[in-house]
Amino acid sequence: GAGVSQSPRYKVAKRGQDVALRCDPISGHVSLFWYQQALGQGPEFLTYFQNEAQLDKSGLPSDRFFAERPEGSVSTLKIQRTQQEDSAVYLCASSPRTASNTGELFFGEGSRLTVL
Amino acid sequence: GESVGLHLPTLSVQEGDNSIINCAYSNSASDYFIWYKQESGKGPQFIIDIRSNMDKRQGQRVTVLLNKTVKHLSLQIAATQPGDSAVYFCAETSRQGGKLIFGQGTELSVKP
């Protein structure tokens, strides 16, 4: 499809397990963002890539969270040793612009992570 | 710290009425604002944006007003329809920051 694609849509993990969430941005989009959305809350910024460079990771809540975009297209958000507080929807968004003029972000439908 | 917040968490309106959703922001350096609509189980969807050099912008059935003096943003939806039922978020950013900062959201419920 032409939109941002995320997988898996739903993931249930036992506490302590590692998870990997994938984002396929819109082809050619330079900027890619990850957000975390807790139930009933607005999305919270996690990290930002411009092409393959991770320019801002100030929102990552701990060193258990790691994101990469090695070839400047697909991105993976990895969470190690998951905790219950990691349960949330993880949203990926892309933009054809760079961060200095962000403009509209195109969001995927998110990956809902539930940690038991 | 800097934040974006909403005055009303829920709003219920009658179909056909106009809706007004409000938002307050605290970062005076913000120069770009966006309203997003999020339906259940979906990602946020762009509605309309406005830059700080404007105080009003109109789209199809929607109008965004920006009052920089009191750091207030509003979204007006004309002739609200059942399909408008969703959670609405305002978000702000600056040229220096790049990242969007979202408010808590307002749930709009449209009664037929």
> What is the rounded distance in angstroms from the CA atom of residue A82 to the CA atom of residue A85?
8
Residue B104 to residue A109, Cβ atoms within 8 A = no
What digits encode the pLDDT tens for the residues A36-74?
999 888 999 999 999 999 999 999 999 999 999 999 999
Q: Is residue B45 less than 8 Å (CB to CB) from chain A?
A: yes
Specify the pairing of strand B45-51 against strand B56-58.
unpaired
Q: Which residue of A has its CA nearest to B4?
A: A42
Residue A42 to residue B103, Cβ atoms within 8 A = yes
What digits encode the pLDDT tens for the residues B56-100?
999 999 999 999 999 999 999 999 999 999 999 999 987 666 688
Give the residue from B30, B73, B87, B100 with the most A CB atoms within 10 Å of its CB, the best one to mutate. Answer: B100
Do B90 and B8 meet the contact criterion of CB atoms below 8 Å apart?
A: no
Nearest to B35 by CA among B10, B9, B4, B11: B4
